[in-house]
Structure 1
Amino acid sequence: MKPYSLILFDYDGTLCDSREAILATFERTFQYYQEPIPPLEKLHQVVSHGLIMPEAFKVLKPELTPEGITEWVKSYRDLYDQNAYHLVKPFPGAKALLMNLKARGKTLLVMSNKGIRSIEMSLDYLGFTPYITLSLGDGSPLLAGLDKKPNPISYTKVIQPAFAHTTSAQTLMVGDTTMDIQYAHNCEIDSCWAAYGFGSAEAIRPLKPTYEVNALSELEKIIE
């Protein structure tokens, strides 16, 4: 193992358990449009694959037009921010881990495909904001016009220039889905699979993440 100084955290399924919030908001979105709610198994499948929201609605309601998808995504995010952020629970040890890493001089980022407004509300609600140097998500001005994970452009065009004192060898991506591990591969940085999160071993282990943890408490040893 080697020490890392820049840690990129996915959010959902990595720092916090937002499954209940996500599932509840999918249900509320379909209710809002007076459409049948998809089977729970299908909703779980969308969550476990870490799909970005437009792709999720393509799967859940394939007849939607591109304009319809945009509208549904906006409704989903509005409903999430109004009703669901308080359902998000930090994984055990999340706040203590962030506090300890920050105290040791580590730079901590959130790198997610989740809407940035939802991320920032949740960070504030859970008390994580003081430990995070930069949060990046869908709708972040810094990511305007850039493709989402697993495309590495957010790393090469935003993160690397902003933290030029840190090399790729000192950077670690921590995430729970194939999107996160593939993003790390594409960025040519090390990865840590949060096996306690939403992703499946069958999908992720073939991608050969650098590390695998079953709890956040195991991450501190890897980073140091």
Structure 2
Amino acid sequence: MTGSAMDCRLIVFDVDGTLVDSQHLILASMQAAFDFLGEPLPPRETALSVVGLSLPEAMGTLLPHLPPEDALRAADSYRQHFLARRLENAAESVPPLYPGALDALERLNATPETLLGVATGKARRGLDHLLDAYDLRQLFVTLQTADGHPSKPHPSMLLSALAESGATPGCAAMVGDTEYDIAMGRAAGMRTVGVAWGYHPRDRLAAAGADVVIDGFAELDAALASLGLVPA
């Protein structure tokens, strides 16, 4: 434990669509999975709308007309393609950080008593690859992935993050780009910040109950300050 419920604030970030723009690799891997099943890939907006869910749930959402075992086969094909792309060209498989993401993380990390975490639908192997590529690991005190938790919006990842960091829900926020992130944060009793540059539009984030929605990382500090989570 790195803090106590009395002296720390926890800001938890989603990854895909929030910290990194991974849409091209995601869509290429989805195309491979749908080709494997002989199914047409849905339009881009529909395909990206499930980002944030664990892979089986995402594929099941996109393929509701097929048996559950086919969704599992599609998820496995996606994983294989994703990993193959990484092995073929490690540099190309690292999605770019969104503008201002690194500065925002470093700024928050330098704020006394503010702790950072991750809650992502990615597998731990994929998260480790990303953190090592950008040398981000030292910024986070808790890393929660799909490997050991139910899919978002179940609050399991955030409850574990709170327990590991020593923060309380009232002193914590979830930052993410999808309604699944917002619903997960609310279910854990945390404040929620939606980011409008990801895979769900602003109105969908607001409808999910986001406390605030921002249009760029330059707005994050003020948003968190308005929620009483960092100094104004």
TM-score class, shorter-chain normalisation, is 0.7 to 0.9
Aligned to 1:22: 26
TM-score scaled to structure 1, two decimals?
0.84
Aligned to 1:83: 85
Aligned to 1:96: 103
Aligned to 1:54: 56
Aligned to 2:45: 44
More off after superposition, 46-55 vs 92-101 = 46-55
Shift of 1:75: 2.4
Deviations, residues 122-168 of structure 1 (Å, cap 9, x unaligned): 222233222122221111xxx3xx42221123333x2232122x222
Shift of 1:219: 0.8
Contact 1:173/1:189 (8 A) holds in 2: yes
Distance 1:82 1:107, change over 3 A: farther
Shift of 1:182: 0.8
TM-score scaled to structure 2, two decimals?
0.81
Residue type of the alignment partner of 1:128: L
Aligned to 2:139: 131
Cα distance in 2 between the residues matched to 1:53 and 1:177 = 15
Shift of 1:208: 2.9
Deviations, residues 39-87 of structure 1 (Å, cap 9, x unaligned): 4x1x421312434321322243345433333332122123213316625
Q: Which runs of 5+ in 2 are unaligned?
A: 1-6, 87-91, 225-229
Shift of 1:4: 7.4
Match of 2:127 among 113, 119, 135: 119
Equivalent runs, 1:1-224 vs 2, <5 Å: 5-31=9-35, 33=36, 35-39=38-42, 41=43, 43-50=44-51, 51-83=53-85, 86=93, 88-105=95-112, 106-139=114-147, 143=148, 146-156=149-159, 158-164=160-166, 166-223=167-224, 224=230
Question: Percent identity among equivalent residues?
Answer: 26
Q: Which runs of 5+ in 1 are unaligned?
A: none
The number of residues matched between the two structures is 212
3-state SS of the aligned residue for 1:110? strand
3-state SS of the aligned residue for 1:91? coil
3-state SS of the aligned residue for 2:74? helix
Shift of 1:118: 1.3
